Amino acid sequence: MARPGATCPPPARRVMVAARALLFWALVYSYCGVCACIAGLRLLWSIGRRPGETFRWVVRENPPACLNDPSLGTHCYVRIKDSGLRFHYVAAGERGKPLMLLLHGFPEFWYSWRHQLREFKSEYRVVALDLRGYGETDAPPHKENYKLDCLIADIKDILESLGYNKCVLIGHDWGGMIAWLVAICYPEMVTKLIVVNFPHPSVFTEYILRHPSQLIKSGYYFFFQMPWFPEFMFTLNDFKVLKNLFTSQATGIGRKGCRLTAEDIEAYLYVFSQPGALTGPINHYRTIFSCLPLQHHEVIMPTLLLWGERDAFMEVEMAEITRIYVKNHFRLTILSEASHWLQQDQPDIVNKLIWTFLKEETKRKRE
């Protein structure tokens, strides 16, 4: 019998690692199957109720005027040498000012930062990016092109292509995940980190395995592992799922929030109704389980975490736990009446909190 505390011999260790991996992937694909069955039942219910409407899919031919609003900035493109991909972004504020780089979540695009583009252009060069596979940015066809390493490298390469070596980095939802990882891997490039409604990735991976309620809320991570079916479900009833994400009582912006206008909704429908427009965004999720957990964890720059307490997808308890991974000034603000779509839901409050954090950090440095 091995002594207490003795290390396992290599063969035994390999067996344990293999067993844990087997259990992990069994969980992933089992839950993927459950989510697929639920989606299939919803499809059948929709066909039974309104068969003529279920498969209606209208491709929006022309962008709504709000996407070309000059007050939001200028539409620009940059091609990255290493990947060869062309990225689309909207930039506001004078060139040469400090860079503020904005990373959107799912299913969003640069337009989700419209309130911040207007607000911060007075003191920053504000750049709202379409992530790889989204909107007018190129979308590689294979899911392997959406691994986290590629997404992190995109941000580094874009920063350099814009002529900067550092920035204030802000990310929401999936863009928040990328922002955390960029801050961990390239700390010299991030002067200040601001994340909206996404915990430190290590908190997320540990919490989801211990809390079934969060596992259920993150069911779409598992559902998205399937080929083509998730994209198909989004198109049903002329993208009813997409509309409901932003407007329904369960997941949308709340009664006290800044609701999306009909034109705002049309902007999202214009982008995601294009043929193939959903595959790139969903591919971001299709490699996630092979990329986590992380080997490196610590964040060493000043960090602000903003959280809408009424988030239907992320439990607020993860926000406070995130504190242990930030080895610098950390500020957490939880807004009790706000939804997951925080920077669109409560733009005035969010902008004020960001200004306070930025100016507070500038004052702290001077002292």
Catalytic amino acids? 173, 285, 340
Q: Sign of the C-alpha dihedral, residues 89, 93, 96, 102?
A: negative
Tokens of 26: 């069994």
CA distance 267 to 114: 12
On whether the CB atoms of residues 341 and 104 are closer than 8 A, the answer is no
CA distance 120 to 126: 7
Give the position of tokens 């960029």: 182
CA distance 78 to 331: 34
Tell me 102's DSSP state: E
On whether the CB atoms of residues 265 and 238 are closer than 8 A, the answer is no
Instruction: Write the Ramachandran bin of 135: left for phi over 0, alpha for psi from -120 to 50, otherwise beta.
Output: left
CA distance 319 to 207: 11
Other beta carbons less than 10 A from residue 362's beta carbon:
10
